[in-house]
Structure 1
Amino acid sequence: MQSSEVRSTKSSLLLALRRYSSAVSDMEQTVLVPSLLRDVPSDEAWDCENGSQDLYGDYLMLKAIRNTAEGGLLHADDHRSRSGTALSKKLEPLLGTDPETLFHFHLAGLFAVMSELTEKTQSLTDKYMDIIGAPN
């Protein structure tokens, strides 16, 4: 039974959100001069899609995502609204699916995204430490 509890604890959505929030907090505490990240190219392939081409844009995006995850969907600018509409059109075929299957589909996607964002946040923090010449 304990093995099952450990597995569910490791894959808890709340734990994934806490890990991401903690990584962003560590990033904020480490990156004392965010402007040093300007014009430092990011090596992430998905950066071109979201308009971020440097680590400074990534830094701002990661903080904004954390704020939205913790505070909820209060504001959405035009770009995000348009991309959200496009995404919902792609997901329309899933709407006829039973709610439990749909929930598991979205939950698996959320876990994957939170894991990727946490890794990106930790990578950005490490790169900043390299920029300032501090040991990681």
Structure 2
Amino acid sequence: MMMQLLETPNQKNSLFNAMNRFIGAVNNMDQTVMVPSLLRDVPLDEESEMSAMKSDMDDSDMYSYYQLLKSIRRDIEWGVRCAGERRMESMKITRMDSSASCSSSISSEEDEEEDEDLEKQFQFHLTGLQGVLSKLTLQANSLTKRYKQEIGIGGWGQ
């Protein structure tokens, strides 16, 4: 479990703190949602922060979104896995194919071109990642609040 640190004004927008806020929100959601199956077939609230994600998901109920947020937290904490590894995990296959690889090869010409723009690429992706993490944090907090309302404890700890 990651230790949450106090933020200074200069660190407010750091990637580490954005990840920490998201992980904290998902941990809070996970601790609050004692019976995840109660989220099944509960539609995402059209007027909440979660509605933005609805169009991107096939299953648009709160349970699916709960699972998605937990999966993203797991990827941040343990690293991103390739699609094949995710499929095997979801099918609960314990033997991993050691020949499967997530890496791709880049030719030396492409590598040289990419080196020139690494700082620009980093800044672009860092800004995008921080924006996405902020939205996901709001959505995890919204799901937690909605769960409390669904089970009748909406007035507690808000």
TM-score of the aligned structures, taking structure 2 as reference length: 0.67
Structure 2 counterpart of 1:116, from 132, 135, 149: 135
Alignment of 1:52-67 (within 5 A): 52-67=59-74
Residue 15 of structure 1 corresponds to which residue in structure 2?
Answer: 17
**Larger Cα-atom Rg:** 2
Amino acid at match of 2:128: G
Measured after TM superposition, the shift of residue 40 of structure 1 is: 0.9
Amino acid at match of 1:125: T
What CA distance in whole angstroms lies between the structure 2 residues aligned with 1:101 and 1:127?
Answer: 39
RMSD: 2.3
Residue 28 of structure 2 corresponds to which residue in structure 1?
Answer: 26
In structure 1, the residue corresponding to 2:126 is in which secondary structure? Answer: helix
Residue 101 of structure 2 corresponds to which residue in structure 1?
Answer: none
In structure 1, the residue corresponding to 2:83 is in which secondary structure? Answer: coil
Alignment of 1:1-136 (within 5 A): 6-42=8-44, 43=46, 44-77=51-84, 98-134=117-153, 135=155, 136=158
**1:56-75 Cα deviation digits (max 9, x unpaired):** 00000000000001100134
Q: For the structure 1 residues 77 and 61, does the alpha-carbon distance in structure 2 shift closer, same or farther, using more than 3 Å as the test? A: farther
Higher helix share: 1
**1:44-63 Cα deviation digits (max 9, x unpaired):** 13323232300000000000
**1:12-31 Cα deviation digits (max 9, x unpaired):** 11111010000001001100
Q: For the structure 1 residues 8 and 40, does the alpha-carbon distance in structure 2 shift closer, same or farther, using more than 3 Å as the test? A: same
Measured after TM superposition, the shift of residue 76 of structure 1 is: 1.9
Q: For the structure 1 residues 71 and 79, does the alpha-carbon distance in structure 2 shift closer, same or farther, using more than 3 Å as the test? A: closer
Q: For the structure 1 residues 56 and 111, does the alpha-carbon distance in structure 2 shift closer, same or farther, using more than 3 Å as the test? A: same
What CA distance in whole angstroms lies between the structure 2 residues aligned with 1:103 and 1:33?
Answer: 40
What CA distance in whole angstroms lies between the structure 1 residues aligned with 2:29 and 2:84?
Answer: 25
Q: For the structure 1 residues 48 and 100, does the alpha-carbon distance in structure 2 shift closer, same or farther, using more than 3 Å as the test? A: same
